[in-house]
């Protein structure tokens, strides 16, 4: 996909982390950007000195009225949206058995249904211009289920499967779809954007409990650089054929490739059982 000379990016979750760093990189290139957060005051500094190219908006992706208003404001200000980056979201950890219903549903509202709603609101404009790129932040957990992260992984797996269908539908219309799948990165995700239900069942202490504890402990020491990740995302957006998957970080790359090889070997090893499940020819 070839970006326009001054593309318009629309990025959610810009108050911290990946969203903030990516917004800065977009602005550094002289491009236009809509930066959003639930509290617009937390992204106001991003647009200072670039008011002709940047728009800061309040957006809670769970609020249908704010979704419609933010997309309308972007269209009114810039006339188009070329790249939508669905970055807003957060983590929830618990053993599967101890997951709390309200917390599980709240996470899906943001990570899944909010992302769906915003994308639906942006697609009419992209269809009309026969061009666009939808970039969905999932996670390595969107491809692998780790202990303690069952419900977070479920939310990210949901976005991955949905993105497959979206790509098949909008690809012929000139719209690309990419899922960004980071491993551990040095953002404040674990400190600010992670909720946990403590493990109290002793049987899960060495699986879910141990991983949940380690997630908190490594916060601030992760190997991944969010600025370098932002550069990789921009390169993907500029590619003639944008990737469907963009795994980021050494941990993520090694974990995902090992898991996919293991999965393929298992499926191929059961070839006879798979083919034998059909009616006889």
* Nearest by Cα to 180 from 236, 219, 132: 236
Distance between start and end Cα atoms, the chain: 44
**Environment class of 65 (CB within 10 Å of its CB; exposed 0-12, middle 13-18, buried 19+):** exposed
Which is it for strands 54-58 and 91-93: parallel, antiparallel or unpaired?
unpaired
* Nearest by Cα to 82 from 171, 184, 1: 1
Selected catalytic residue, list 90, 92, 151, 152 = 152
DSSP characters for 206-254? IIIIHHHHHHHHTTT--SB-HHHHHHHHHHHHHSSS--SEEEESHHHHH
The DSSP call for residue 78 is H
Cβ atoms of 89 and 111 closer than 8 Å: yes
Catalytic: 90? no
Helix or strand holding residue 98 (H, E):
none
What whole-number distance in Å separates Cα of residue 124 and Cα of residue 143? 29
Residues that are catalytic: 152
């Amino acid at each position: 996909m070839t970006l326009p000379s001054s593309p318009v990016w629309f990025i959610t979750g810009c108050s911290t982390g990946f969203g903030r760093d990516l917004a800065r990189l977009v602005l550094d290139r002289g491009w236009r950007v809509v930066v959003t957060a639930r509290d617009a005051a937390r992204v106001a500094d991003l647009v200072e000195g670039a008011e002709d190219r940047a728009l800061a908006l309040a957006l809670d992706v769970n609020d249908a009225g704010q979704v419609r208003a933010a997309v309308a404001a972007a269209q009114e200000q810039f006339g188009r949206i070329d790249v939508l980056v669905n970055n807003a979201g957060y983590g929830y950890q618990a053993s599967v058995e101890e997951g709390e219903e309200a917390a599980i549903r709240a996470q899906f509202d943001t990570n899944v249904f909010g992302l769906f709603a915003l994308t639906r609101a942006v697609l009419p404009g992209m269809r009309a211009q026969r061009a666009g790129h939808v970039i969905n932040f999932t996670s390595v957990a969107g491809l692998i289920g780790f202990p303690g992260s069952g419900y977070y992984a479920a939310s990210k797996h949901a976005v991955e499967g949905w993105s497959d269908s979206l790509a098949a539908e909008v690809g012929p219309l000139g719209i690309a779809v990419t899922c960004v799948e980071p491993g551990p990165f040095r953002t404040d995700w674990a400190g600010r954007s992670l909720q946990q239900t403590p493990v109290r069942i002793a049987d899960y202490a060495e699986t879910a409990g141990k991983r949940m504890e380690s997630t908190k402990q490594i916060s601030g020491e992760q190997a991944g650089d969010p600025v370098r990740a932002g550069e990789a995302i921009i390169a993907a957006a500029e590619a003639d054929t944008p990737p469907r998957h963009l795994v980021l970080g050494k941990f993520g790359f090694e974990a995902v490739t090992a898991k996919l090889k293991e999965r393929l070997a298992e499926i191929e090893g059961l070839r006879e059982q798979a083919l034998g499940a059909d009616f006889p020819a």
